[in-house]
Amino acid sequence: MTTIYPNAAAALEGLTFDGMTVMSGGFGLCGIPENLILALRDRGVRGISVISNNAGVDGFGLGLLLETKQIAKMISSYVGENKEFERQYLSGELQLEFNPQGTLAERIRAGGAGIPGFYTKTGVGTKIAEGKEHKDFDGETYILETGLKADLSLVKAWKADTAGNLIYRKTARNFNPMMATAGKICVAEVEEIVPVGSLDPDHIHTPGIYVKRLVKGSFEKRIEQRTVTKREAV
Give the whole-angstrom CA distance, residue 112 versus residue 180. Answer: 8
Whether 227 is in a domain gets the answer no
pLDDT for 170: 96
Residue 234 pLDDT level (bands cut at 50, 70, 90): low
- The mean pLDDT value for 138-157 works out to 98
176-221 per-position pLDDT tens digit: 999 999 999 999 999 999 999 999 999 999 999 999 999 999 887 7
Whether 54 is in a domain gets the answer yes
Percentage above 90 pLDDT, the chain: 89
3-state secondary structure of 216: strand
User: Structural domain tally of the chain?
Assistant: 1
Whether 143 is in a domain gets the answer no
Whether 142 is in a domain gets the answer no
Question: What is the secondary structure of 6-71 as a DSSP string?
Answer: SSHHHHTTTT--TT-EEEE--BTTBT--HHHHHHHHHHT--SEEEE-S---BTTBTTHHHHHTT-E
CB 215 within 8 A of CB 11: yes
Residue 68: which domain range? 3-116+148-216
- The mean pLDDT value for 161-182 works out to 97
Whether 122 is in a domain gets the answer no
Q: What is the DSSP letter of 203?
A: G
Largest CA distance in the chain: 64
Here the CATH number for the domain that contains residue 207 is 3.40.1080.10
Whether 192 is in a domain gets the answer yes
Whether 233 is in a domain gets the answer no
Sign of the four-CA dihedral 71, 82, 39, 194: negative
3-state secondary structure of 186: strand
- The mean pLDDT value for 73-98 works out to 92
Say how many CA atoms lie within 13 Å of 40 toward its Cβ: 34
Burial of 71 per CB tally in 10 Å (0-12, 13-18, 19+):
buried
Whether 231 is in a domain gets the answer no
Q: What angle do CA 109, 189, 169 make, to 5 degrees?
A: 65
